[in-house]
Structure 1
Amino acid sequence: MSVPLDEKEIDDLRRRLGELSDRSAVTDLVARLGVWLDGHGLDDPGTVFTADVTAVTPGGVQQGIDAVAAGARGQHSGYARLQHFTSNVLVDLDGDEASVRANLVAVFISGGDRPATRVLVGHYRFGTRRTPQGWRIARLEVLPSWGAPVDSAALIPSPAA
């Protein structure tokens, strides 16, 4: 037997469903950034960033989508493979904006003109904004905790003879 809901309960359910939907979309956006970076930033940056995005990374400060995309491509080019892992994504919603914190582990596999494989561990801070195209990153900050070169042979075993 079900009990009918009154208008206040229905409105509360709609609000809560909207909040869950927004949290899911922002969490997906964080994952989409990792996929975009792993692809060396070759896909459309407009699927991840706002036009007026600001990025503060170990590579410097970039302002605007073209500069952020170029900065990411420059920092990630020359590596044979990339893998960005994010975890513990915390989303603080505030209407059409959200603040986000996430842990970061990034692995850069040597190749091309990059002689050393390295690992970067730290966290991200994002400012995100709802746009007509969906949620996008308006501010990105990479806060490294530590980084180190690693032995590529330990990460990528040689094929059996």
Structure 2
Amino acid sequence: MNDRIEITELFSRLNLLLDDKRWDEVHTVFTTDISVYSPRNGEIHGLDDLVDFMCKAEVAEEHTQHVTTDVVVDVDGSRAAASANSVVHFFREGEAPHRTSGLRLDCTAVRTETGRRLSESRTTLRWTRKE
């Protein structure tokens, strides 16, 4: 059960990292050899390349709010498969969202010396609504 709680918390930490642009905290969520696949960034390998992409992908004065639910975790020793649904609201300070997207997240979490970390993350865009 502790593994499931720790992995579910990884999704919450990922949301905060993305929403607050805490790029210096990516090591608390991902392994150094992370592989990320998404419609927005294609395929990225390695923590440094991921941080570089995140910094370059920032849109001036645009913020996000990630809401992740329905986390399912299947633990197999030191590895675990985890999936979740996520809704992302894109907005400008003090304004209602101008875009909202529904995502499916499929990840692999591994046990490291510093706790569970995501070693692979695959994001599938399910829908987008422009407000």
For normalisation by structure 1, the TM-score amounts to: 0.73
Determine whether 1:143 maps to 2:124. Answer: yes
- The aligned length equals 127
C-alpha distance in 2 between matches for 1:97 and 1:85: 25
Letter of the 1:144 partner, please give it. L
Q: Which has the higher helix share?
A: 1
Q: Rate the CA distance shift 1:130–1:81 in 2: closer, same or farther, 3 A.
A: same
C-alpha distance in 1 between matches for 2:58 and 2:84: 20
Determine whether 1:26 maps to 2:7. Answer: yes
Letter of the 2:15 partner, please give it. G
Match of 1:103 among 53, 77, 85: 85
Deviations 1:15-49 (A, max 9, x none): xxxxx111100110111101100112433211110
**Root mean square deviation, CA, Å:** 1.7
**3-state SS of 2:21 partner:** coil
**3-state SS of 1:78 partner:** coil
Report the structure number with the largest CA radius of gyration.
1
Bigger mean CA deviation after superposition, 36-45 or 132-141: 36-45
The unaligned stretches of length 5 or more in structure 1 are 1-19, 151-161
C-alpha distance in 1 between matches for 2:16 and 2:55: 13
Identity of aligned residues (%): 29
Deviation of 1:79 (Å): 4.1
Deviations 1:97-127 (A, max 9, x none): 110010010111147xxxx931110210001
Partner of 1:121: 102
